[in-house]
Chain A
Amino acid sequence: MADAAAPRPTMSLSARMLVGLGGLLAIGGVLLALAAYGYGRAAARDAFDRLLVGAASSIATSVSVVDGAPVVDIPVSAFDLLALAPEDRVGYLVTGPGGMVLTGYPELAEAITRPGPEPALFDGRFTGEPARIIRYTRRFAERSFSGQVDVVIAQTMRARDQLAWNITRNALMVLAIAGVAVLVLSVLVIRSALGPLDRIAARLEARDPQDLTPIDMALPREIGVMVGALNGFMGRLDRQLGTMQRLISDTAHQLRTPVAALRAQADLAGGEDDPDRLRQIVGRIHRRSVSLGRLLDQMLSRAMVIHRIDAARREVVDLRDIALELVESADHKLVAPDAVVRLEIGDAPVLARADALSLGEAAKNLMFNALTHGEAPITVGASARDDAVTLWVEDAGAGPSEAVRDQLGDRFLRNAVSRGTSAGLGLSIAKSVAEAFGGSLEMTPRPDGFRIAMVFPAEPPQ
């Protein structure tokens, strides 16, 4: 026998989680890095812009009016301030009214005319390098001098770039640590979440092969669903296994007596010389064989019905069809060639939710019982009453004895079997079928006979 097919492995959950999280972190990381770089640049710009404003204002403050002309005396502190960006070059220009250069780099004069709020800060260039430029204006309204003095300072961007990069790098480092922590944590969480599966697998491996009892463990809800399904599956397996075992033991038990009787008759026939008696014995053997065949039919029918009760899909069945088929198949001719079976159905559908085959088997057994044990005429019918529907068989006799009725449902009807008949088994099948589809088996003595009916809840017409 081939090994059980190994489950096809797909990507492991941990790998899926890692790939998903890794992708998320990578995309988030890129976005955050861009954001951090943007933030770093803005922060560096703000910080060093303040230095520029401070230096420009300090230079502007040093301007004084001497003999009617502005005179600038640049304080060292202004350059000490600018030197806080230690690697950056600085250009500066101080102009009086009309752009007259008081001191500094004349090439920065362009910045004087540039429109903008006060103080104006903008990006530009200083001797071939990108630079941040400030224009700071001071207005004089003295008796001897009225007009404005502009201070322009250009500073290269090394310190700004350095600070922006430092901020970005620090942010990225924190991000990388957090990312690794998230990944590690997620792997741990997956491991712990999938732990119960390993425990279930171990429990199942350790089980006795015959043990089909439900798995009883404390489990997380998500996994409980799967284990519930597994338990349901094992329950069905257990019932089917039980059915099979009962079938085998019943069959063995029930066949022993009739087979022994057949053998006894055959033995008898072997030692008999008288042709009349021999014919008589052969007749008995025939009757016994027919009865045995019937018994086998019923037992198989019962096994099938019980199997289908678990396995077959429920569908809406018109009970009139079942009754019609039963009468038309004329199976009863096999048991009682002379008997007449009547059909009694109406025009309206009689609907129940059940399995047609099981219903057919059950009805057939009831009909055979009536043919075998009841009195003609036999009637098969389907009818509706209130909120229930019935599939019934009626005969003119008095019905089964009290004892048989009491034993109804016992699968083991020694009396019937030992007599070579099988009324009890047929009733038992009908009862099982009725109950499996939410109904019951009703036996009703009537003025002109006895009716036995499977009663089901009515199915509303579609």
Chain B
Amino acid sequence: MIRPLILAALCLAQPAMAQEATRSFGPEAATARLVLRTTTDIAILAPTVEAFVAAHPGQAVDFEQWGSNDLYDLTRRDCLAGRRGADIVISSGVHQMVKLVNDGCATAWRSAATLALPPELRWRDEIWGVTREPAVMVYNRDLVPPGEVPLSRFDLLDLLRPADTPYAGKVATYDIEASGLGYLFAFMDSQEATTFGALMEAFARTGAVATCCSAEIIAGVASGDYLIAYNVLGSYAATAAAANPALGVVIANDYALILSRAAILPPGAAVDSAGAFLEFLLSDPGRRTLERTNLISTAASPDAEDDVASGGRRVLIGLGLPLLIALDQAKTRQFIARWREAFEN
């Protein structure tokens, strides 16, 4: 019922800031209300929030779903104005969350559960990585012959190399100007390996498509508009692939970026409620609900067993100072200029 709404909202350009969707969980007359702002689709995170309110009677959660750039701008503006906004913010734009923490827009929370996180996934006790989602390639099983399924970025380059490649104009990836997450993946790729330069060149040559939003890209692959989608968030891909057998998912075996959505408690947050929610996300029952919705991917764990679809090195996007560079104005300008060069001809 909500899904068509979300899909529509996801793909709309949004000149004014507005949440994409909202929903309240828990009793109407709850004594404590928690405002959760996140980039995660309500439908995907709903089981987790429901489990949380079930475990905490008298606690209600007002769920607001936002685009990552809007969420960053809103949270930043609330912080600078000293206004109380969300109680907890969970975003896939982790570089944006890191910047908020660096600018003093986060409240500390310290517990055994947060301290148990690996050091890459917490910083200053003000930001925590709560999910594990690999960046994957999605392909259309009906249209891509099994022998041509790219298992790595090198395979993808090889597919695009021939002058008459059938994949010309049929490869899609995030529009990094519209999607904070797309920008982050592209930026991390550029830091990680020189393959990125070759890929940009190949995308430019074959007229690859940069477009908005996971859902649209995946739908495009399913419909056959695109044959392969590069750097799609694994949680959405796995969910879609489970529903549609025509979709194949590959975790690249040269290296795979692993995103851990970042949670912060903005200043002025209801720390007790927000902390309780954070504790729940990090607890075993919370993690089990996240695993069921693919927000914690077993394939994303560094010691996951290699099989045909997975393998190679896992590169966890660490939450820390170096991510600040991803938001540096000069860097962004240069990076986007390079990107446009590839996609706008």
Contact = CB atoms under 8 A, between A and B. Distances in A.
Is A bound to B? yes
A127 interface: yes
A128 B104 contact: yes
B83 interface: no
Interface string A322-354: 000000000000000000000000000000000
Given A72-B330, A74-B330, A83-B320, A89 B102 contact: yes
Interface in B317-331: 320-322, 324-325, 328-331
B328 A90 contact: no
Interface in A392-409: none
Contacts of A129: 104
B103 interface: yes
Interface of A: 71-74, 76, 79-80, 82-83, 86-87, 89-91, 94, 102-104, 127-129
Contact of A74 (B101, B104, B191, B331): B331
A82, A87, A89 — which one has the most chain B CB atoms within 10 A of its CB? A89
A102 B329 CA distance: 8
Contacts of A86: 119, 123, 320
Contacts of A128: 104
Contacts of A103: 328-331
Interface in B296-338: 320-322, 324-325, 328-331, 334
Nearest to B105: A127
Nearest to B324: A79
Contacts of B84: none
B196 to A, nearest CB: 14
Contacts of A127: 103-104
Contacts of B331: 73-74, 103
B124 interface: yes
Given A127-B103, A127-B104, A129-B104, A90 B330 contact: no
A121 to B, nearest CB: 19
B265 to A, nearest CB: 16
B330 A83 contact: no
A462 to B, nearest CB: 91
18 contacts: A71-B334, A73-B330, A76-B191, A76-B322, A79-B324, A79-B325, A83-B321, A86-B119, A86-B123, A86-B320, A87-B123, A89-B101, A89-B103, A90-B321, A102-B330, A103-B329, A103-B330, A104-B329
A94 B331 CA distance: 12
B228 to A, nearest CB: 29
A127 B101 CA distance: 11
A281 B44 CA distance: 153
Given A89-B104, A129-B104, A83 B325 contact: no
Contacts of A83: 320-322
Given A76-B325, A80-B322, A94 B103 contact: no
A72 B123 CA distance: 27
Contacts of B322: 76, 79-80, 83
B334 A73 contact: yes
B321 A74 contact: no
B128 to A, nearest CB: 14
Contacts of B328: 74, 103-104
Given A83-B320, A90-B102, A103-B328, 19 more contacts: A73-B331, A73-B334, A74-B325, A74-B328, A74-B330, A76-B325, A79-B324, A80-B322, A82-B321, A83-B322, A86-B123, A86-B320, A89-B102, A89-B103, A89-B124, A90-B324, A103-B329, A104-B328, A127-B103
Nearest to B332: A103
Contacts of A71: 330, 334
A94 B328 CA distance: 11
Contacts of B119: 86
Question: Nearest 7 pairs between A and B by C-beta?
Answer: A103-B330, A127-B104, A83-B321, A79-B322, A103-B329, A89-B102, A79-B321
B327 to A, nearest CB: 10
Contacts of B101: 89
A94 B321 contact: no
Nearest to A155: B321
B319 to A, nearest CB: 11
A283 to B, nearest CB: 125
A89 to B, nearest CB: 5
A72 B328 CA distance: 10
Nearest to B333: A103
B43 to A, nearest CB: 36
A72 B191 CA distance: 17
Nearest to A62: B330
A91 B104 CA distance: 11
A128 B331 CA distance: 26
A79 B101 CA distance: 15
A74 B332 CA distance: 11
A87 B322 CA distance: 13
Contact of A87 (B124, B325, B330): B124
A358 B322 CA distance: 107
Nearest to A101: B329
A104 B102 CA distance: 12
Nearest to A75: B325
B216 to A, nearest CB: 31
B116 to A, nearest CB: 17
A83 B123 CA distance: 10
Contacts of A76: 191, 322, 325
Contacts of B329: 103-104
A103 B330 CA distance: 6
B129 to A, nearest CB: 15
